[in-house]
Amino acid sequence: MKTIGVNALLVAAVPGEAQMQAIYMDETQPIELRVKDALSRMTLEEKVGLCYAQSKFSSRGVQRLGIPEVWMDDGPMGVREENKWDEWGGAGFTNDSCTAFPALTCLAATWNPEMAAIYGKALGEEFRYREKDVMLGPGVNIYRTPLNGRNFEYMGEDPKLAATMVVPYIKEAQKNGVATCVKHFALNNQETWRSGVDVQLSDRALYEIYLPAFKAAIVEGGSWTIMGSYNKIRGTYASHNDLTLNKILKEEWGFDGCVITDWGGAHDTKEAVLNGLDIEMGSYTNGLSTGRAFAYSDYYLADAYLKGLKSGIYPMSSIEDKASRILRLIFRTAMNRHKPWGSFASPEHAAVARMVGAEGIVLLKNEPLKKKESALLPLDGSLYKKILVVGENATRRLTEGGGSASLKAKEEISPLAALQAKYGDKIQYTMGYASGPSVYGREGKPAFNTDSLRVQAIEMAKDADLIVYIGGLNKNHRQDCEDGDRKSLDLPFEQDVLINALTAVNPKIVMVLLSGNAVAMPWIKQVPSIVQGWYLGSQAGNALVDVLSGAVNPSGKLPFSFPVKLTDCGAHAFGEEGYPGLADTKIETYKEDILVGYRWHDTKNIPSLFPFGHGLSYTTFKYSKASISAKSIEKDGTLTVTIPVTNTGKVAGKEVVQLYIGDVKCSVLRPLKELKSFQKIALAPGATEQVQFTIKNDDLCFFDEVKHAWVSEAGAFKVYIGSSSTDIRAMLDFELK
């Protein structure tokens, strides 16, 4: 919480006639004029003071001039609890229990920009109510490997999907006068060696795969801040990297906001000064004694920077630029007296969490046990006398853990509680397996005899009418958690053994996986119904039961591919050089290049377990004959593609119609096809919608490394329209003149 109110600061600092003359205080004046005026009144020491932390989650203002400090807090799925001033531990407040929204993998799985806007608005309101100026999120790093511990914080493997979803999130969040801080820029695609791994990749991979979502966040979304990642990029740390921060972010994209380090992401004063960093947070720069471990004046952009400016080592233009950017941020947020009040942990926000969660849940498989029978889902309670719920995740709080994404949620409705509320005393429960407590940085040991848990579950399964298994991963270390990647693609805690044993005694099983990552499924042929449920936040149980019961028809689509085995991923196809990097040098080369996710599966003809864009429904959709407005396109022209889609089932449902484009012949390697557009439509039974897409030259381009420009080559192209990256319902051909 802020220690001094903004209005009190303004009045006390600049009283009387001088206050009237202070242009920087006048919100009717252009922001650049206000910045210039404020700079003219500040001392060099005050300008440098803006550039580094004053506490764990705040940086200085200029109290003498009534310019308030900047308060930040972790997101991007809820407002983190209040911390102690200079420690990671909670402050013990009783009024900081937030709404936990679904993880960003779930939001991406909605494939619905309207959901992203609603989500961003609600989250921004919570940050505003808590008087935060910067929310540390959203995350848009690309899902490169299913082992990455932070994939649940991101928006999938495809740059088009992530870019489309992040823009409305940012726009709506920032309407609350709270800056988003898009992270982690860039190439933070693993947690193994995250503070030292040196990523090597081609310009094509950088521009085509790993930058587009960040660019959309800045250029289209207008994010006011961005966070530098921990890793190195081509030998230089990302938080002060000339290529990504100066040349790309600030020059090519015209970014006028602040670059903020990830906590402890700065390593050198000269690089921090010259290579684009603006605000340094969380650095451990003293190292001499525990009592001064957080000596803020020892930060790289603190006393060392001030001394270098005074001695002429660093140009004065550097501090003028940094201070200008920080003032711009303050005027947009902390010093904005016209922003709304916000709201916190409200019923309306709970409804948003439930709605987004239900729309993001993905029905992976739903097959009848026998040909003439119905599938197990939706779950009709009248058909069963005894429904056995198995799995620790049915009761475990999954808003907690995961590192900086851990939340102090006001409530978390468990799947078991929601199932009991829906189906009453038909529900029985047994754990079946157990993990340890969530302890950051190490793996906790379970407090149960796991063999006994498994034996009990098998015995109870024998006379159950239906089993609902709720397992997957959790936010423990080396699962879906910051600062540690997963050890393997397999389910942890011997769940595969348990699942095989359950299916052997009772084939009527609905599998619910709660995770932010793909998992291996050696039991897939024995399990008739599988649901990918993600981390669903405060309303987890209600959102899940909405879908299981059929109250909500599932419409989520996978934002990343599920491989059969780990080596089916491009990142894992080249040995340790491709992931996690060479042990002696920590150099990691993205040898799969632009072929990430479904691009790799398609182009290399490697089947996935479940493809990118996959997701079933309780109804069916028919794609009729597609048409295209012309057989050729000029480089400055457009084409229109139209396809009728009909709900041929008995219930209303939503479908995501996906358009991919492939370059038939090109001078460089290109994927078989790439997602270029999608639309989510809602159809009543029997209804038809004419879905239209516009194709333009930008959709046909690749990044030319020699010209350092986006180019397209004349020739034949193919349009693929489908319900997933492999379920293609229509194909069309056209030519680029």
Give catalytic residues, as residue numbers.
262
CA distances 52 to 46, 234, 723, Å, are 11, 26, 48
Contact between 399 and 412 (Cβ < 8 Å):
yes
Residue 729's SS3 state is: strand
Contact between 107 and 360 (Cβ < 8 Å):
yes
Task: Concatenate the DSSP letters of all residues of 639-700 into one string.
Answer: EEEEEEEEE-SSS-EEEEEEEEEEESS-SS---S-EEEEEEEEEE-TT-EEEEEEEEEGGGG
Other C-beta atoms lying within 10 Å of the C-beta of residue 649: 17
Contact between 137 and 181 (Cβ < 8 Å):
yes
Q: How far apart are CA 440 and CA 450, in angstroms?
A: 22
b/e burial code for range 567-576 (CB count within 10 A of at least 16 → b): ebbbbbbeee
Burial (0-12, 13-18, 19+ Cβ within 10 Å), 16: exposed
List the one residue out of 58, 127, 60, 56 whose CA is nearest residue 89: 56
Tokens describing residue 349: 């926000």
Q: How far apart are CA 361 and CA 359, in angstroms?
A: 6
C-alpha dihedral sign at 185, 188, 194, 199:
negative
Tokens describing residue 73: 């807090």
Q: How far apart are CA 724 and CA 675, in angstroms?
A: 10
* Amino acid present at 708: H
Q: How far apart are CA 491 and CA 514, in angstroms?
A: 11
Tokens describing residue 416: 């078991």
Residues in Cβ contact with 579 at an 8 Å cutoff, skipping those fewer than 6 apart? 144, 145, 147, 190, 571, 572, 588
Q: Per DSSP, what are the bridge partners of residue 728?
A: 722
Q: How far apart are CA 380 and CA 389, in angstroms?
A: 15
Under DSSP, the state recorded for 446 is: P
Contact between 558 and 615 (Cβ < 8 Å):
yes
Q: How far apart are CA 150 and CA 535, in angstroms?
A: 12
- Which alpha helices (H) appear in 487-582, and where do they start and end? 495-505, 540-549
Q: How far apart are CA 220 and CA 180, in angstroms?
A: 13
List the one residue out of 154, 165, 331 whose CA is nearest residue 258: 331
Q: Which residue has the tokens 């933070």?
A: 188
Q: Per DSSP, what are the bridge partners of residue 663?
A: 717
Cis bond upstream, residue 184 (ω within 30): yes
Under DSSP, the state recorded for 219 is: I
CA 510 to chain centre: 27
List the one residue out of 591, 568, 565 whose CA is nearest residue 579: 591
List the one residue out of 461, 653, 398, 701 whose CA is nearest residue 551: 653
Contact between 98 and 410 (Cβ < 8 Å):
yes
Q: How far apart are CA 255 and CA 226, in angstroms?
A: 10
